[in-house]
Structures are given as structure tokens and as C-alpha cells.
Structure 1
Amino acid sequence: MHETTARAIVTAPKHLQKMKHADARTQQEREHLLCILAAVEGALMIGALSWAA
């Protein structure tokens, strides 16, 4: 669990940086951004639950 959480947190900025430089403001970019943010949020939630247990 801890590695999965860390991987999501480390990977997200790389994807966001790529999007920043390729900013075309398309619906596809918006959906990709929401997916990245949901992945990070989910990883943090799972991480917090596993650390609390």
C-alpha cells in the first residue's frame, strides 16, 4: 500500500508537467487532469487508511 501511494504521488507531477507544456485546453486534457487528480486523491485516502490501521 505504501509503495502504491508513493508511486501515485511521484508520478502525478511528471504527468502534470507534460500537460503544462502541451496546454491546448482541450476536453481530453481536462479529463486527463481530473483522472490524475482522482488517482492522487485515491492513493492518499488508501494510504491514510492503511497507516491509521
Structure 2
Amino acid sequence: MSENATLRKTNEYGQHYNLKFRLKTDVGASLILTAWIIRTNEDFPHLTNCYPVDR
């Protein structure tokens, strides 16, 4: 399974993306929102935030 990241903004630090996905375990499930940045002059993402959301 794969999800598409949403480009939120581009600034002097790089490109900022959000990604939402549903995490399921044996004890429950939750929608998770993650925030990522690909810094200027780099070609890999850095996780900047991750938390459960209602929608």
C-alpha cells in the first residue's frame, strides 16, 4: 500500500510535505499525520512531526 504526500510549501529551507495514513494494529487503528522536509541541496526526506489526528 502507498499514499501520496502533499506539498504544503517551499521556502528557503526546502520543500515541506504532509502525509496522512491509517495505522492498524491488533489493538486498534488511528489516522496518523506526518510532516516531512526535503532540505535544499539534499535528496532525501527528514521527518519533522508525527501525531494521531481525527480526520
Instruction: Name the one with the larger helix percent.
Output: 1
Structure with more relative contact order (C-alpha pairs < 8 Å, separation 6 or more): 1
| Bin for the TM-score computed over the shorter chain | under 0.3
Instruction: Name the one with the larger strand percent.
Output: 2
- What TM-score does the superposition give when structure 1 sets the normalisation length? 0.21
